[in-house]
Structure formats: C-alpha cells, structure tokens
Structure 1
Amino acid sequence: MIEDRTEDAEAARDESSSRAVAVCADPVRAGLRGRCPRCGQGALFDGFLKVRPACTACGLDYSTIQTGDGPASFIMQIAGFLVGFSALFVEIKFHPPMWVHLVVWLPLVVVLSLALMRPGRGLMIALQYRNQR
C-alpha cells in the first residue's frame, strides 16, 4: 500500500520555506509520463525501471509500491498480439521467406516491449496509488 502521509502534506503547505504539495488532477496521466501520481511533478523512476524511494517534489513515499510482474505480463500480451497478428497478416498477404519474418518481427517485438515497459510500470503505480488513497 502506498503511504500518502497527509500530515506531511499539511505540514509542507503550512511551512513557507517548504515546497507546497500540489494534487495532480489525473494520476494515470502522470504515471504514463513517469511522474509522481500525487503531484505530477517529481520523477517516478531512478534509471530505466527502478522506482525512486520518494518523490522529490512532494515527498510521497514510493518504498511500499509493489507492482510485481503485472506490467511485464500486460506488455507481453500487447506486444504479442500486435506482432503476432501483424506477422500473420503479412504471411497471408505476401508470403515472404522465413528470414524476412525473423529480421522484421523479432526486433520489433523487442523494441515494442522496451518502449512500453516504462509507461506500463508507471501506469500500474499510478493505478495502485489512485485506488488505495
């Protein structure tokens, strides 16, 4: 469960020297962009997929986030569907040799999986935050 410490947010609002905590209107959009689901400002990731310990803007604690393998399984299903049916369509329509399939579809599935992994994990974190507030 994501700890959303309201007393920390209230204390941050009261202190003039501290950063004010803004509430993000759409945590899902912030998660897809790799931003904090609460404020929409701080970075969510430290590296490619490693989640930061806390938000640098509002202080939301990310240490309790547990997405598991959810994003990876969804990404595999999406990429597999797109590439599988595209390869099937190309095979039925054009009948290319097998090496063309290997040259086209294997790199495409790798690129598609890597491109969708970070937004997918951000989305899962944002949905977890939105549904557990």
Structure 2
Amino acid sequence: MTNPCPCGLPEPYADCCGRFHRGDQHAPTAERLMRSRYCAFAVGEPGYLLETWHPDTRPKRLRLDPAQEWTRLEILGRTGGSLLQNEGTVEFRAHYRCRGRDDSQHENSRFVREDGRWYYVDAL
C-alpha cells in the first residue's frame, strides 16, 4: 500500500502534489496550491516554493531547515480561491517536529491567480 500524500489528501504523493512539484500540472485552486506548498516543505522542494511565490513578495532564496520534520496539515478555513476566482485565502495549521520538540505554525495565507496560475502572496 502506498502512503498518502503529506498534504493530507488520500492520494499517493506522485499522483497528488508530486504532479505539481514535477511541473506536470499547476494547482487548480488556492487550497490545492497551499497543500502543495506545505508538501514541498515536507519533501524538501524549495524550488517549487519559490516558483509558486508571487514575484512581488518572493524572497531571493529559501533555505529549508533539515532538522524540521513537517508532520500534519490542518485546513481551518478558506475564502474564494476556486476554479472561477482570482483571489483567495486559506487558513491552516501546519504541525512539525524540530530538534525533538513538537510545534505548529498557524497562518491565513493570501493567494492570487495570474495568467491562469495560482501564487502565494503573503500571510494576513
């Protein structure tokens, strides 16, 4: 049996967020982009994180902490961000373990779609 994707959806990584990370497809909604970005942290894909970060707010480089293990994602709410919209927010809690300590990050992220592609903009 294949393990489910780290983003929390039941599909295996290759069929779920892996297709976005490989560039086979773009995330169709703000929530799917948010899930795929969380998954990129979990599997160590900083290039994907930079690529899906809006150019106006994107850092020049991103270094992931190898000691940080992302363990679970909770979607707490969302506004907009559907297939037919160009803006949306996703509120989430991302759980992780770092240097033997469990913690979480709570954020309400803002997303925009430009030229048919969703981008992470910032946290509200």
Q: TM-score, with normalisation over the residues of structure 1?
A: 0.22
More strand by share: 2
Where relative contact order (Cα < 8 A, 6+ residues apart) is larger, the structure is 1
Larger Rg: 1
Q: TM-score, with normalisation over the residues of structure 2?
A: 0.23
